[in-house]
Amino acid sequence: QVQLVESGGGLVQAGGSLRLSCAASGSIFSFISMGWYRQAPGKQRELVAVITRGGTTNYPDSVKGRFTISRDNVQDTVYLQMNSLKPEDTAVYYCAAFDGLGSYWGQGTQVTVSS
């Protein structure tokens, strides 16, 4: 069974940076794509960044230019580098992986950005 474990969340001031990590229990190369999502209180979960097996990335306008997703196929880990953080980035961040059978989710890590 696939397990995803996020780490790296915390409290940071506006304008600061954090790097989230998502460690998979198996080879991440087996996944068609992996992504980061976030959910703020009272809001729907939204996509933050996605990276395909081939390395193609995509971001919504809200984080484009500030967030960068990357993957390490040797360490079986996906990262989310978050720069120029804003209070509206405050949310629980989830790692997800997708293959031909379904989707897998981590437990989430809290990111809080103070103004």
Q: What is the pLDDT of residues 41-58, one digit of tens each?
A: 999 999 999 999 999 999
The pLDDT of residue 109? 98
The pLDDT of residue 34? 96
Q: pLDDT band at residue 29, thresholds of 50, 70 and 90? A: confident
Alpha-carbon gap, residue 6 to 88, rounded angstroms: 20
Mean pLDDT of 25-34: 89
Alpha-carbon gap, residue 89 to 59, rounded angstroms: 14
- Measure Cα distances from 57 to 16, 35, 47 in Å: 23, 9, 12
Alpha-carbon gap, residue 32 to 44, rounded angstroms: 24
Cβ-contact 105, 22 below 8 angstroms: no
Q: pLDDT band at residue 100, thresholds of 50, 70 and 90? A: confident
